Amino acid sequence: MKKFISGCLLIVLFSMPAFTQEGKIVFSNDDVVFRQIDQHTWVGTGHEMWNESLYLIEGTDRSILIDAGTNIKDLDKIVSSITPKPVTLIATHVHPDHTGSSVNSFPEIHINPGDTELIPEFMDNYKGVVKYLKDREIIDLGNRQLEVVFTPGHTKGSTTFMDKNAGYGFSGDSFGTALLLLTTDFSSFIASCERVCSLMEGNHIRYLYTGHHDGNNMETLNKIKDMLALSKNVLSGKIKGGFNPDNMFGLHLAVEGNGYRIIYNESAVK
């Protein structure tokens, strides 16, 4: 956990200046601020681990909450004050700034089975039922659908959710915003970049909201293409990583792309 927090601090340093969020505030307390993205979509911002982001997505039948932040008291009541529809919690991945103690506001959480191995370390206090998402399943909210796209790389179970009609998606930490902590390997990440690029191009998806949204740091097709090209060069040996002195998660190597870094260790180059 200590290493994780130092990693988040590094994200802060690497991404300044931050926080230029816009949108009408619909809820605010010491733990979280919710702002409206569009008529039926809101972003919640926590501040325990650098504006960790939650997204509330409303259909005509029900709503989905993507991620629960770190430690937001009564999160179920907060989201119910914004949407009148029943809310189901799903997670982009199992890390303490996305599935922190706030998950206990909800009787069940839906995760990618790839992150089951992280539950003992990062979600061991969860009292509810863990259910599993399926790759490419469609979550129907009533007149609004989210497609589940598994995007391993940051963790084995990292997941992106696409709202094709709205023209945007939600990628959590899958592409790392300005700093990707690659805890798996480049082959998995390259495959994730390729499938997301093809889905974005094929469905006119303009951007992906990140797990640490600051108002204008959405992932774009160009950025993910850039990450894909860099990752292929690292995997082929054309580019070698430099030493990453922070060494969080044991990720002691780093490569830099256009406005971002990827940190990893030797075992990722396979």
Q: Which residues bind Zn ion (CB under 5 A)?
A: 95, 173
Which lies closer to Zn ion via its Cβ, residue 83 or residue 92? 92
Please name the residue that has the structure tokens 């989210």.
Answer: 146
* Rounded distance between C-alpha atoms, residue 18 and residue 219, angstroms: 15
Residue 8 CB, shortest distance to Zn ion, in Å, is: 9
Residue 93 CB, shortest distance to Zn ion, in Å, is: 6
- How many of the other CB atoms lie within 10 Å of CB of 9? 14
Residue 111 CB, shortest distance to Zn ion, in Å, is: 13
Which lies closer to Zn ion via its Cβ, residue 58 or residue 97? 97
Neighbour-count burial of 194, counting CB atoms closer than 10 A to its CB (0-12 exposed, 13-18 middle, 19+ buried): middle
Which lies closer to Zn ion via its Cβ, residue 83 or residue 244? 244
Which lies closer to Zn ion via its Cβ, residue 85 or residue 95? 95
Residue 98 CB, shortest distance to Zn ion, in Å, is: 6
Residue 12 CB, shortest distance to Zn ion, in Å, is: 14
First to last CA, the chain: 27
Q: Name the residue whose CB lies closest to Zn ion.
A: 95
CA atoms within 13 A on the CB side of 247: 1
Residue 61 CB, shortest distance to Zn ion, in Å, is: 30
Which lies closer to Zn ion via its Cβ, residue 173 or residue 185? 173
54, two tokens: 């939650």
DSSP track, 29-82: -SSEEEEEEETTEEEEEE-TTSS-EEEEEE-SS-EEEE---SS-TTHHHHHHHH
Kindly report the length of the chain: 270
* Rounded distance between C-alpha atoms, residue 252 and residue 39, angstroms: 43
Which lies closer to Zn ion via its Cβ, residue 95 or residue 156? 95
